[in-house]
């Protein structure tokens, strides 16, 4: 601690030792520097520089406060906008989930409806095929009957023609016998 005091005293004493002669003299540089300093301070006071510096600093402080307030307001506004966008994002996510769920339900309903329509279509086609089969079967039966009728008619006409020929020959024979007998 003593060393520190000695170093400080040595540093303060060295400029004082640079001046020579009496202190209040124009040949003493320390006195000249003191007078110049006091004149400079006086000029600053007369020109009201401290007041101007104070008002400039106050203005700057006011400006900084205004900027801080504006920054705070902007931050709050940004937080509000962020919260709004987060709400909108959440709503859009919920809406998209509802849309996807609705689309799945519609797809399931459409699939069930298509399945039902396919069953109805298959049933209709089976019924149409059965009708065609029944119609073809009835046509075949009708054709067989017609053929049987044609065959029966032709057989009957043959039999009748033979019988008519036989009857005609019997009649001719009777007529011959009658002619011969008379």
Task: Please choose, from the candidates 1, 33, 2, 40, the residue with its C-alpha nearest in 3D space to the C-alpha of residue 19.
Answer: 33
- Give mean pLDDT, residues 60-79: 96
* Contact of 23 with 31, CB cutoff 8 Å: yes
Phi, psi of 48 (to 5 degrees): 55, 40
Rounded to whole angstroms, how far apart are CA atoms 137 and 146?
A: 14
Mean pLDDT, the chain, rounded, equals 85
Q: Higher model confidence: residue 5 or residue 134?
A: 134
H or E element in which residue 58 lies: helix 49-181
Q: Report the sign of the C-alpha dihedral through residues 96, 97, 102, 108, in that order.
A: positive
- DSSP state string for 10-56: HHHHHHHHH--S-SSSTT-HHHHHHHHHHHHHHHHHHTTHHHHHHHH
Task: Please choose, from the candidates 15, 12, 45, 14, the residue with its C-alpha nearest in 3D space to the C-alpha of residue 31.
Answer: 15
Q: Which pLDDT does position 38 carry in this prediction?
A: 94
Q: What is the pLDDT of residues 71-119, one digit of tens each?
A: 999 999 999 999 999 999 999 999 999 999 999 999 999 999 999 999 9
* Contact of 30 with 16, CB cutoff 8 Å: yes
Confidence of residue 69 (pLDDT cuts 50, 70, 90): very high
Going by the DSSP 8-state scheme, the letter that residue 82 receives in this structure is H
């Amino acid at each position: 601690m003593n060393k520190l005091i000695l170093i400080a005293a040595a540093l303060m004493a060295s400029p004082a030792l640079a001046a020579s002669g009496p202190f209040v003299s124009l040949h003493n540089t320390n006195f000249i520097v003191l007078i110049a300093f006091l004149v400079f301070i006086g000029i600053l006071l007369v020109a009201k520089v401290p007041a101007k510096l104070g008002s400039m600093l106050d203005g700057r402080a006011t400006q900084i406060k205004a900027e801080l307030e504006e920054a705070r307001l902007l931050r709050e506004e940004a937080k509000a906008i962020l919260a709004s966008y987060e709400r909108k994002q959440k709503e859009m996510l919920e809406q998209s989930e509802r849309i996807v769920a609705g689309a799945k339900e519609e797809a399931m309903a459409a699939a069930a409806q298509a399945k039902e329509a396919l069953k109805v279509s298959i049933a209709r086609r089976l019924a149409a095929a059965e009708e065609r089969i029944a119609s073809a079967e009835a046509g075949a039966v009708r054709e067989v009957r017609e053929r049987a009728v044609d065959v029966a008619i032709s057989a009957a006409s043959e039999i009748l023609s033979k019988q008519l020929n036989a009857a005609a020959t019997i009649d001719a024979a009777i007529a011959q016998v009658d002619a011969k007998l008379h």
